[in-house]
Amino acid sequence: MDATSFCGALPQTKLSASNRNFSRSCPRARSVVSVARHSSEEFQQPDKLYSRESLVVSSFSSANKGMTASGRSYLSGPVMKRNPVRQAFCAASVVGVGAYCEGFVDSHLHVTEEKVGVLLLNLGGPETLNDVQPFLFNLFADPDIIRLPRLFQFLQKPLAKLISVLRAPKSKEGYASIGGGSPLRKITDEQADGIKMALKAKGLTANVYVGMRYWYPFTEEAIHQIKKDKITKLVVLPLYPQFSISTTGSSLRVLQNIFSEDAYLSRLPIAIIQSWYQREGYIKSMADLIGEELQKFAKPEEVMIFFSAHGVPLTYVEDAGDPYKDQMEECIYLIMQELKARGSYNDHTLAYQSRVGPVQWLKPYTDEVLVELGQKGVKSLLAVPVSFVSEHIETLEEIDMEYKELALESGIENWGRVPALGCTSSFITDLADAVIEALPSAKSFSTTRSTSEESDRDFLSYAIKMIFGSVLAFVLLFSPKVITAFRNLLF
């Protein structure tokens, strides 16, 4: 199978009409995305401030349900407890949402011809060093990234400002070392072009939009264009293979907020692809890239395959029920199965990188495992970034520079790194298939107001919380323990 660039050229490979779910364990389930208004959020750009309300997105199937951005259970209940891996996997393997909207004709819009849109969601990255601090502000101001208890949520923006200002110098160094900015926008734009072409080759004409969470082009801008273009059916495709509250969950919350406030958008049939790590095309594309890199070693069979995933704080998984870890493990399992089917029986391991701050993150940590492997006598190692599909600071600086240096210092002699999928044709074709498969399930959003939010609006309870919260926050912020924790977070 070829692993050449798809972007800029029509696919050479034969295009399959559909792609079966590659999951070993979970039959397709139906899922519904519902929302509740949650909290107010401000958004920093170099030249302006956005103000908007953020929302809680609930994602559930018949087997599991429930998440909030503020620390309540994400996927909870007795079924979840009995078999969390299977439940999380089932929820996430659901591609679309809701029922098929046959022969879409919106009487309000007087639209008779279908105009399909695909919205790619990604994180976004600073394009220049001047963008770094405001980008970091947007990231840390996200209640899905710094998850404060409800009582302390009023501290979100001051805290984001403080952390972003203090962290910016370290981040800038990283971005400077990879050319002065993130390549994420350029690569995502190329992927969008590739998906558009792949869809066209399959007979579907669609507009493909890019909506970033923390930098340009912001999700709001993409939605604005979608409205302008009078799209009649939308497929939302987050460019994260695995679902996490901090990535896909956060972007979906923003989307839901925008959609619920707008008459046109709230009626627009929409299908959300929540995760796609289990798709055959993705797994095979990853196996292709790994296979190619293995062949560059003198003794490919002796190479340890080292999957390095972006981490999340442990509480996301343990308290909030983030399915990210389970999906990651399932994903690695599927890739290794595919490699075995091709005759590669390499040892492999999974570790988590890029932790930020004083709290515990998913373990084992990439840096610690690299040292251990070196001490154990592993001589050849192939690093595989598995939570990203494009090159960016975490691959180009953290893996290629920091981790490589650490590995070589620790006794590993032969180092290799699998490139991110980028515009690999088999991968882009598979994403196009995922869009086509999701399209029939497009359904318009519905919104509900949570009872907890209504109680928030009760002035007395709000005032008490504010006063009590301020006092507690003051005490906490100036305690020596917290000051030490901050120092660890930033330097």
Point out the residue whose Cβ comes nearest to ligand L6N33NVT: 125
The secondary structure of residue 310, as a DSSP letter, is E
Classified as helix, coil or strand, 153 is helix
Which listed range, 49-57, 224-232, 310-318, 429-437, lies at the site for ligand L6N33NVT (CB under 6 A)?
A: 310-318
Pick from 40, 6, 22: nearest CA to 93? 22
Question: In this complex, which beta carbon is closest to ligand L6N33NVT, that of residue 167 or of residue 404?
Answer: 167
**Binding-site member from 41, 338, 394, 400 for ligand L6N33NVT (CB under 6 A):** 394
41 binds ligand L6N33NVT (CB under 6 A): no
Strand-by-strand arrangement of the 447-448 sheet: 49-61, 31-44, 447-448
* CB of 83 closer than 8 Å to CB of 322: no
**Binding-site member from 356, 406, 485, 490 for ligand L6N33NVT (CB under 6 A):** 356
* CB of 219 closer than 8 Å to CB of 251: yes
Question: In this complex, which beta carbon is closest to ligand L6N33NVT, that of residue 104 or of residue 214?
Answer: 214
CB of 181 to ligand L6N33NVT, least distance (A): 8
Give the residue carrying structure tokens 């190692």. 381
145 binds ligand L6N33NVT (CB under 6 A): yes
CA 185 to the chain's CA centroid: 15
269 binds ligand L6N33NVT (CB under 6 A): no
164 binds ligand L6N33NVT (CB under 6 A): no
**Apex CA 40: angle with CA 37 and CA 46, to 5°?**
135
Q: Per the structure block, which two tokens stand in for 370?
A: 């690299």
Give the residue carrying structure tokens 């370290």. 170
Question: In this complex, which beta carbon is closest to ligand L6N33NVT, that of residue 59 or of residue 380?
Answer: 59
Q: Per the structure block, which two tokens stand in for 240?
A: 């994260």
Q: Per the structure block, which two tokens stand in for 96?
A: 């679309």
**Binding-site member from 388, 403, 415, 427 for ligand L6N33NVT (CB under 6 A):** 388
156 binds ligand L6N33NVT (CB under 6 A): no
Question: In this complex, which beta carbon is closest to ligand L6N33NVT, that of residue 185 or of residue 233?
Answer: 185
Which listed range, 258-266, 387-395, 467-475, 483-491, lies at the site for ligand L6N33NVT (CB under 6 A)?
A: 387-395
Q: What is the identity of the amino acid at 301? A: E
**Binding-site member from 54, 247, 250, 441 for ligand L6N33NVT (CB under 6 A):** 247
CA distances from 202 to 73, 127, 213, 285 (A): 41, 34, 29, 19
Question: In this complex, which beta carbon is closest to ligand L6N33NVT, that of residue 23 or of residue 246?
Answer: 246
First to last CA, the chain: 44
Site for ligand L6N33NVT in 177-216 (CB under 6 A): 182, 184
Distance CA 101, CA 333 (A): 35
CB of 49 to ligand L6N33NVT, least distance (A): 20
CA distances from 424 to 248, 289, 430 (A): 22, 9, 10
Which listed range, 331-339, 364-372, 384-392, 420-428, lies at the site for ligand L6N33NVT (CB under 6 A)?
A: 384-392
**Residues in the site for ligand L6N33NVT, rule: CB under 6 A?**
123, 125, 136, 139, 145, 167, 171, 182, 184, 240, 244, 246-247, 310, 312-313, 356, 387-388, 392-394
